[in-house]
Amino acid sequence: MQYRQLGQTNEKISAIGLGCMGMSHAYGDRDEAQSLNTLQCALDLGINFWDTADFYGDGENEKLIAKVLKPNRDKIFIATKFGFKYQNNNGDFGSKFDGSPAWMRQAIELSLKRLQVECIDLYYMHRVDQNVPIEESVGAMADLVKEGKVRYLGLSEASSESLKRANKVHPIAALQSEYSLLTRGIEPEILPTVRELGMTLVPYSPLGRGMFSENFDISQFEADDLRFRLPRFQGEHLINNQKLMQALTEFAHGKSLTTAQLALAWLLHQGQDIVPIPGTKKIKYLQQNAQAVDAKLTLAEIAEIDAIIRTYPNTGERYTADALKLVNH
- The CATH number that applies at residue 282 is 3.20.20.100
Distance CA(245)–CA(251), nearest Å, equals 10
Distance CA(198)–CA(290), nearest Å, equals 25
Per the document, the length of the chain is 329
Q: What is the DSSP pairing of strand 120-125 with strand 150-156?
A: parallel
The number of folded domains in the chain is 1
Secondary element (H or E) of residue 124: strand 120-125
Q: 196 Cβ partners below 8 Å, 6+ apart?
A: none
Per-residue pLDDT at 26 exceeds 70: no
| 212 falls within a domain | yes
Helix, strand or coil, per DSSP, at residue 80: strand
| 223 falls within a domain | yes
The pLDDT of residue 23 is 86
The pLDDT of 13-27, averaged and rounded, is 85
Q: 308 is in which domain, residue-wise?
A: 3-324
| 23 falls within a domain | yes
Strand extents, DSSP E, 194-301: 200-204
| 114 falls within a domain | yes
| 44 falls within a domain | yes
User: Which tens digit of pLDDT belongs to each residue from 74-111?
Assistant: 999 999 999 988 665 444 444 688 889 999 999 999 99
Helix, strand or coil, per DSSP, at residue 212: coil
The pLDDT of residue 58 is 84
- Dihedral over Cα of 96, 328, 162, 266: its sign: positive
Strand extents, DSSP E, 22-140: 49-51, 77-82, 84-85, 96-97, 120-125
Nearest to 77 by CA among 65, 92, 88: 65
Residue 18, strand partner residues: 50
The pLDDT of 307-319, averaged and rounded, is 81
* Known active-site residue 56: yes
Distance CA(214)–CA(246), nearest Å, equals 9
Burial (0-12, 13-18, 19+ Cβ within 10 Å), 234: middle
Per-residue pLDDT at 325 exceeds 90: no
Per-residue pLDDT at 128 exceeds 70: yes
| 99 falls within a domain | yes
Q: What is the DSSP pairing of strand 3-5 with strand 12-14?
A: antiparallel
Q: What is the pTM of this model?
A: 0.88
Instruction: Catalytic residue, from 27, 56, 123, 152: name it.
Output: 56
| Average predicted confidence (pLDDT) for the chain | 89
Q: What is the DSSP pairing of strand 12-14 with strand 150-156?
A: unpaired
User: Which tens digit of pLDDT belongs to each residue from 140-175?
Assistant: 999 999 999 999 999 999 999 999 999 999 999 999
Distance CA(157)–CA(196), nearest Å, equals 17
Distance CA(27)–CA(131), nearest Å, equals 30
Instruction: With cut-offs at 50, 70 and 90, classify the pLDDT of residue 209.
Output: confident
| 157 falls within a domain | yes
Compute CA distances 4 → 125, 202, 293, 296, whole Å. 22, 11, 11, 17
User: Which tens digit of pLDDT belongs to each residue from 4-16?
Assistant: 999 999 999 999 9
| 329 falls within a domain | no
The pLDDT of 288-293, averaged and rounded, is 95
